[in-house]
């Protein structure tokens, strides 16, 4: 298969590109990414010379960029490209509607025109809204997004379902819980806590810190998406999660303990507006129908993630300083054009 991975220079997309290239398949992989602040080509330096991998710098909202990629022949699309950070969506919703809704529609049109055999849309558990202290999201839970981010993702999900229903496009939607692991941009809770704790800086915990998230290692998410790509039934939605619920405060305390740092680095700050209290996924369907199950115990995954940030300080320091963005302009794009 020739697989197009949109958002292939982001956190999960980049891990998925590496996962596909390291698994024993004959797939070739095209990563398409606009390299917004969240895209980092330095995350993929270890695979850039693989003969079955190509990086394309392009915007999913641009018909021209998207057509140019599909014209080379694409068998399957795994669509990660998105604006992904809830706090940013509260400050600037427009960028989220543009990329997440319009960008998805541009890709769906191209997928239809060029007859792709599978379109996997990577969505999120946040489209279901928030839970109280009990209950789980199933694939039948009505969509009830609460933030501009989750509303834009829900909009993209509805478009994907409409293209399947109306045009018979072979689509699947995945809705996963919170991911953690290597190469995550240090604006999200776990990497932010790790890099701030390492620098003995205060760690902002929103509100009372009692919000609950279900954490899954990014490699287990990649394995689930791969299962959906190969075995997922057209038109279906698959929830992905690992029954691993933690309050934000406990997660931050656990990271401080792993690093041997004092809990008084924690600083309670003003809550996120409209902050969803709890997400929890019922992943029975993907477990039963596709045989997927998480493999990385949280203790091990968190310890290895902390270790990764300790051993890859150059990577996140260059993100913090902004140098990672000039690398593409000054060096990588020249190499691409040769």
* Shortest reach from residue 247's CB to ligand DAU, in Å: 9
C-alpha–C-alpha distance, residues 120 and 128, integer Å = 19
- Does 188 contact ligand DAU by CB under 6 A? yes
Residues 269-328 that bind ligand NAD (CB under 6 A): none
**253 makes contact with ligand DAU (CB under 6 A):** no
Could you give the CA distance from residue 219 to residue 200 in angstroms, rounded to a whole number?
29
86 binds, among ligand DAU, ligand NAD, none (CB under 5 to 8 A by kind): ligand DAU
The residue (of 104 and 261) whose beta carbon lies closer to ligand NAD is 104
- Closest distance to ligand DAU from the beta carbon of 262 (Å): 18
What amino acid positions are annotated as catalytic residues?
A: 125-126, 149
When the beta carbons of 164 and 174 are compared against ligand NAD, the nearer one is 174
- Pairing relationship of beta strands 212-217 and 245-247 according to DSSP bridges: antiparallel
155 binds ligand NAD (CB under 6 A): no
Interface positions, 46-65, toward ligand NAD (CB under 6 A): 59-61
Question: Per rule CB under 6 A, is residue 177 in the interface with ligand DAU?
Answer: yes
Residue 241 has, within 13 A of its CA and on its CB side, a CA count of 27
Q: Least distance in Å: CB of 66 to ligand NAD?
A: 9
Written as six digits, the tokens of 65 are 């960029």
- Kindly give the residue spans of alpha helices, DSSP state H, lying in the chain: 11-22, 63-70, 86-91, 93-96, 103-113, 148-167, 189-198, 218-231, 248-259, 284-290, 298-311, 313-321, 323-327, 333-337
Residue nearest to ligand DAU (CB): 124
Q: How far is the CB of 312 from ligand NAD (least distance, A)?
A: 16
- The site that binds ligand NAD (CB under 6 A) totals a number of residues, namely 30
**Spatial CB neighbours of 25, under 8 Å, sequence gap ≥ 6:** 1
Task: Work out what residue 99 binds among ligand NAD, ligand DAU, none; the CB cut-off runs from 5 to 8 Å by kind.
Answer: ligand NAD
- Site residues (CB under 6 A) for ligand NAD, limited to 161-180: 176, 178-179
Q: Interior CA angle at 81 toward 68 and 67, to 5°?
A: 15
Contact (Cβ atoms closer than 8 angstroms) between residue 86 and residue 78: no
By CB under 6 A, name the one of 156, 171, 178, 244 that touches ligand DAU: 178
Kindly provide the b/e burial profile for residues 46-76, where b requires at least 16 CB atoms within 10 angstroms of the residue's own CB: ebeeeeebbbbbbbbbeeebbeebbeeebeb
């Amino acid at each position: 298969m020739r697989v197009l991975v949109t958002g292939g220079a982001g956190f999960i997309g980049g891990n998925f590109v590496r996962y596909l290239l390291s698994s024993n398949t004959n797939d070739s992989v095209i990563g398409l990414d606009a390299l917004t602040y969240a895209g980092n080509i330095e995350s993929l330096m270890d695979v850039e010379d693989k003969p079955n991998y190509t990086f394309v710098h392009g915007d999913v909202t641009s018909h021209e960029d998207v057509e140019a990629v599909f014209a080379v022949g694409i068998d399957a699309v795994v669509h990660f490209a998105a604006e992904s950070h809830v706090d940013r969506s509260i400050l600037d919703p427009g960028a989220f509607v543009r990329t997440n809704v319009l960008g998805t529609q541009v890709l769906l049109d191209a997928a239809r025109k060029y007859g792709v055999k599978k379109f996997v849309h990577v969505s999120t558990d946040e489209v279901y809204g928030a839970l109280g202290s009990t209950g789980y999201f199933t694939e039948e839970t009505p969509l009830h997004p609460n933030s501009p981010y989750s509303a834009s993702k829900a909009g993209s999900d509805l478009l994907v379902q409409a293209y399947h229903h109306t045009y018979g496009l072979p689509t699947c939607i995945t809705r996963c819980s919170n991911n953690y692991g290597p190469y995550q941009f240090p604006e999200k809770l776990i990497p932010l806590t790790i890099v701030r704790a390492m620098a003995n800086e205060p760690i902002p915990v929103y509100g009372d810190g009692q919000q609950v998230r279900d954490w899954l290692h990014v490699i287990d998410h990649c394995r689930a998406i791969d299962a959906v790509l190969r075995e997922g039934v057209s038109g279906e939605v698959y929830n992905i999660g690992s029954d691993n619920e933690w309050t934000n405060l406990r997660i931050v305390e656990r990271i401080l303990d792993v690093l041997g740092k004092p809990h008084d680095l924690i600083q309670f700050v003003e809550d996120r507006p409209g902050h969803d209290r709890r997400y929890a996924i019922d992943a029975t369907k993907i477990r039963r129908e596709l045989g997927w199950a998480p493999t990385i115990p949280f203790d091990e995954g968190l310890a290895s993630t902390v270790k990764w940030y300790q051993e890859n300080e150059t990577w996140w320091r260059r993100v913090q300083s902004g140098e990672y963005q000039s690398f593409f302009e000054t060096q990588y794009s020249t190499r691409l054009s040769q």
